Every structure is written in C-alpha cells, then in structure tokens.
Amino acid sequence: MTKQETLEIVGETPAPHTTPGASLRTGSGDPSPKIIRAVPKTGTVPDFVVSARSAAFRKQYFPGMPDTLWNDWHWQVRSGIRNYDELSRILLLSDDEKNALAPAKKRLPLLITPYYASLMDPDDSLQPIRKTMVPVTAELSRSPGEQDDPLSEEPYTPVPGLVHRYPDRVLFLVSDICAGYCRYCTRSRLVGRRPDGAGRIMDRWNAGIKYIASNPRIRDILISGGDPLMLSDERLEWLLQRLSAIPHVEILRIGTKIPATLPQRITFQLVRMLKRYPPLWMNIHCTHPDELTEEMREACRRLADAGIPLQSQTVLLAGVNDRTATLMDLFHGLLRMRVRPYYLLQCDPVSGSEHFRTPLAAGLSIMQELRGYTTGFAVPLYVIDTPGGGGKIPVMPECVMGQEGDTVVLKNFEGKLYRYRDNAALSHALLDRQDNES
C-alpha cells in the first residue's frame, strides 16, 4: 500500500479532452457532466499493475490520468460506457452495432468498464471480446426454443432471489448489477435494471437467509447475481457472516466475472475479508484468452495467495471461443493463474442468443480434441443447463438419449428426460458410440 490522495467525485464542466480523469461522457450534451479528479486528503490507494495496453488506452482517452485513479474500481464503474455516443468515441461501430444501440431497441443495458474496453479492437466488430459486450440486431429477435427464463428458475424460487433446484444446494442472487453486461446473459430478464433500494435488498437477503437456515439439507450456497463483487466490502461481509454462521452450511461459493472485467476490484482489503470465511470458493466467468491480462493475473494471484480456491466457467460461443486452439490457450492460461477450468457451458437458449449458440457437435468435437492432447487438469466438464429446469447435464453418451428432429433428448441426475433444441443436427458419432457401448 502507498500513501496517496483519496479520490472523490467533483462536479464541474471541464474543457474537452484536457482534464485528467475526464469522462467519455464529457461533451456528450450533458449540461453538467461529472468528472473525477484527485482531492488532497490523507488515505491509502492500493498498488495495482497497469499493463502496457491499458496505459496506451488511458493515454489516448483519459490523458494525464494517474494510476491511482485508473485503478480505483469505483471510478471504473462510474465511468463505464453506457450508450452509443460514448461507445462511438472509442470504437468504429458497424451498421449492425449502430442499429442495435438505438435506445428503444436495447434488450439488455450496455455497460463496459474503461479497463475492459481497452481490450477491444476499435476497428473490428468481430473481435471476440467486443462481440460479447456490444449489441447487434440479432439479439432483438427471439428464435424458436428461446425464453426469457430458459432454465425455468422461477418455479424453483421459494423466496425472491433464491433458486433451490438441487436438494443440497441453492443459488442466492444477491445483486442485480454487473461490471459489464454479456449479451448472452442467462438472467438478462433480471440484471441491469434500476437497482432495488437498500431496504428491499435487505428484506430479500433476510428472507433467503431464513429459508436456508430452516432447510438443514442445504450445505452449499452459490452466491451470484448480477455480480456479488459489485457489493461493497461491508455488505458482502454482512452476508458472508450470516451464511457461514448457519450450522449446516459447509461451503460458500461466489460466482463472478469481476477478475476479467474489473480486476481492480480485487483489493487487498477485499481479499483479507474473504479470507475470513473458509471454505470459500470462487467461480470466475472467463471467455477468451484476451482476458488473461497482467491485471487479471494480479487479481487471481491475490485471491490464490489468500487460499481461496479458484475455478472457471466458460460459455461456448460461436465466433468467440468455438475453436479448440482458442480454448486450449484459455484453459492453459487460467491454470498458470491458478484457476482450474471447471465448466464449459453450452450457451443457454435465452431470448436473442441464437447467433451465439454453437451446434452440440462443435462442443463435442472440441472436447474430443482437448482430451489426450493436454493435461486432464485443463479439461473442463462440458454441460448443458437444460431448458425446463432439468439442471446441468454433462454431454456424455450416458446422458444423451437420442434425437427427435432438431431436438436432443437428455437425461438428468433424477432420471428425467429434457429436450434441448440444437442449432444443427447432433453428430451421429456420439449416438453411434452409445450404440457400440451398449
């Protein structure tokens, strides 16, 4: 830690592109734009690495900004890119992107931190990270089989914000906001809207805690959202204290994309707090090798050094990471950061996501090419989170029961059958192998 001046928001009207820390919103028509500037006060700002790419981006779009401000995660969120005008200042937008960014058309809000924007190719609308965050018109259409709640979580929600699908574990949705909104988000119906007030959030949390405490079979809690690391340290610790105090709760997990989209959030203060609640695991949503920056490496180092086990979850996305070489680079890079590849998830059939979904045959081919050609520790489990509430089903011969036209029939852990509409005919190799093994 180094002694620095603390930072606060100061409202003033700066000269365009001259004031250190000026927002991309400066000059966008806001009559009283807000900027961030350093205010001489006593305090501490954590050291954090700044990669050459981040430094070059910052020099171009935020000239004169000090490291301490760029590395302030609150500033990153406040200065997030939220509309066409701000995005067009840093990216050469395609016609498709422009049409999708029309205010009345957005299915899901736009939010990209300046840090994550620095990873995007300004001239290539097909660059993988850019494709996952910048909307296109395809997301405005609903294809057959797509739903707003594709996993049927609502029927398994005994109290608001808590999903109890499996006997011994629950999903606790504690936040409605993220540091960036993935265009393929399963819970796009819930996230990015106007956040609830503090009173309503606490009511929801207390109801969830009461439900968990009254169900002794629950031993494992996945804390998700939105992104739980968007909560303040104080609120997050309040929640962890109460959940860890329930006698039958054995494991807490946090599902987050923060190390990839906002690694500056992983402060030493946050890590010290998380370390107090073992066994606490972290599942990191990671999409592409371009996310494996020096900043993400530092965030993962801090977490791993604190003894927090790290795993990754990756959604298989057409045109983003649906090549074996891409995923091998990603999984190898994650292992070097002490993150164990855990799940490779078939993209859920949420409304407006067909352009992201790969045929099952593509995922099967990738898994076959990974096995044997890299260490088993680098090979995640390929699963489908089945529509209709069937839960996660591994894409393995014993779970694939057959095919009805363009629909694959799958068997879940309860022996029940669920149907998944495939983008293309399932590879006969899997079914042939199933026949040969029977």
Q: Exactly one of 72, 185, 357, 382 is catalytic; which is it?
A: 185
Token look-up 């494992």 returns: 220
Q: Exactly one of 130, 131, 187, 265 is catalytic; which is it?
A: 187
Residue 392 annotated as catalytic: yes
Query: How far from 197 is each of 53, 73, 86, 179, 194, CA to CA, in Å?
Result: 37, 22, 27, 19, 9
Q: Exactly one of 37, 392, 419, 421 is catalytic; which is it?
A: 392
Q: Exactly one of 165, 183, 257, 357 is catalytic; which is it?
A: 165
Instruction: Give CA–CA dist 229/235, Å, rounded.
Output: 10
Residue 131 annotated as catalytic: no
Residue partners of 299: CB distance under 8 A and separation at least 6 = 258, 259, 263, 264, 265, 266
Three-state DSSP state, 313: strand
Beta-bridge partners for 253: 222, 281
Residue 347 annotated as catalytic: no
Q: Is 6 left (phi over 0), alpha (psi -120 to 50) or beta?
A: beta
Terminal-to-terminal C-alpha distance of the chain: 62
Residue 253 annotated as catalytic: no
Triad 237, 238, 244: Cα angle to 5°: 80
Q: Exactly one of 178, 286, 300, 347 is catalytic; which is it?
A: 178
- Rg, the chain, Cα only: 22
Residue 84 annotated as catalytic: no
Query: How far from 136 is each of 130, 155, 286, 296, CA to CA, in Å?
Result: 11, 31, 21, 27
Residue 168 annotated as catalytic: no
Three-state DSSP state, 310: strand
Residue 300 annotated as catalytic: no
Residue 399 annotated as catalytic: no
Residue 182 annotated as catalytic: yes
**Token pair belonging to 370:** 């990974």
Residue 257 annotated as catalytic: no
Q: Exactly one of 72, 290, 385, 422 is catalytic; which is it?
A: 385
**Where in the sequence numbering do the catalytic residues fall?**
165-166, 169, 178, 182, 185, 187, 348, 385, 392
